[in-house]
Amino acid sequence: MVGRFAPRTARPALPHQAAPAARRRTGAPQTGALPSGPAAAGRNEAAVPGAEGGARAPYPGVEGRAEPSLTREWTPPGPLDLRLVLGPLRRGPADPTFRMTPDGAFWRAARTPEGPGTLRVAARGDRVGAEAWGPGAEWLLAGLPALLGADDDPDAFTPHHHLLAVTERRRPGLRLLRTGLVMESLIPSVLEQKVTTDEAYRAWRLLVRRYGTPAPGPTAALGLHVMPDARTWAMIPSWEWHKAGVDTKRSSTILRAVRAAPRLEQASAMPFPQAKARLELIPGIGPWTSAETLQRSNGAPDAVTVGDYHLPGIVGHALADNRHATDEEMLTLLTPYEGQRHRATRLILLSGRIPERRGPRMTPGNIAAL
């Protein structure tokens, strides 16, 4: 099979093949696996263990066994809208790695370099409170400021169009996030190539739920899962990709990417041009996919999405009343925002100035029925 690793003599069972009790143990970290030291220090922040005895009271509407946790508080340097900042991480309303609960908290399950982890983020006045579970808890808390846009510089953007100036004033809490994780953004971006968003979201949902692991912490009622590791992605049989509606071209691209996962993850610490070049060395990953990935993993403010079906028309309509703009015309319109073109497109999308639809929606495909 294309892109598979060489089989091992005793191949471990995939997550969905394990017994229920074993799967629960996989999703719940051992007490000794949690770090005991504080997370990286920062401005007006603290990282401490969870409630005394290693257990914290369950959150309203969130069920699950109490597990040890770490907490941290952080004061952002300016206005911060958690929904705007963290929204790009959500891959559809039923994304198994991301949830927003009625109490206004955001939950995120991630596979960090230290292992699986769950992060809960909520606003507390002018501060942000976070709690994390699992082997990756300390890593997630250490990266909290970057995740919430601490490395972003909104003042570097100067609007040259009335629409952008008005939207920037109305959305002062917009900051560009940085996860520091490449594969968790690259794989769903590949799934979104050349299909409708509903098809891509369905594929991501089915594959993560079937081959991922339950997220650490009190996440049972939320149904949070950590995405599979690179080897598990490579071991997914071809017919399972087909059942999820993923064609051979996209699945082969993912298989090639996971074989080079350590090298691709290094791109999270590279400047945008070098990171883009690193990702596009993989056949099947082009400018559209690399931009969609680096916008999230690197917080790249100039990673404009080229090759999108809708974006050129939206930008053209907003800035020049040209709903039929091409990629070249879009880039010309964005020339005054060189270095901040991704932020400019985010503001355009938030402005609400979107051209009206003049035709039927694209009909989703269903290769799983073939």
Sequential DSSP letters for 154-200: GGG----SHHHHHHHHH-TT------S-SHHHHHHHHHTTTS-HHHH
Confidence class of residue 60 from pLDDT cuts 50, 70 and 90?
Answer: low
Q: What tens digit of pLDDT does each residue of 91-106 get?
A: 999 999 999 999 999 9
What pLDDT is attached to residue 293? Answer: 98
Residue 41 DSSP symbol: P
Q: Give the Cα separation of 278 and 265 in Å (integer).
A: 10
Q: Give the Cα separation of 115 and 133 in Å (integer).
A: 11
Name the one residue in this structure whose structure tokens are 């908290």: 105
For the ranges 31-40, 61-70, 345-354, which has the lowest average pLDDT?
Answer: 31-40
Closest CA relative to residue 105, chosen from 85, 87, 122, 88: 122
The H-or-E segment that residue 137 falls in is helix 137-142
pTM: 0.83
Q: Give the Cα separation of 152 and 300 in Å (integer).
A: 9
Residue 31 DSSP symbol: G
Residue 248 DSSP symbol: H
Residue 23 has pLDDT above 70, yes or no: no
Residue 58 has pLDDT above 90, yes or no: no
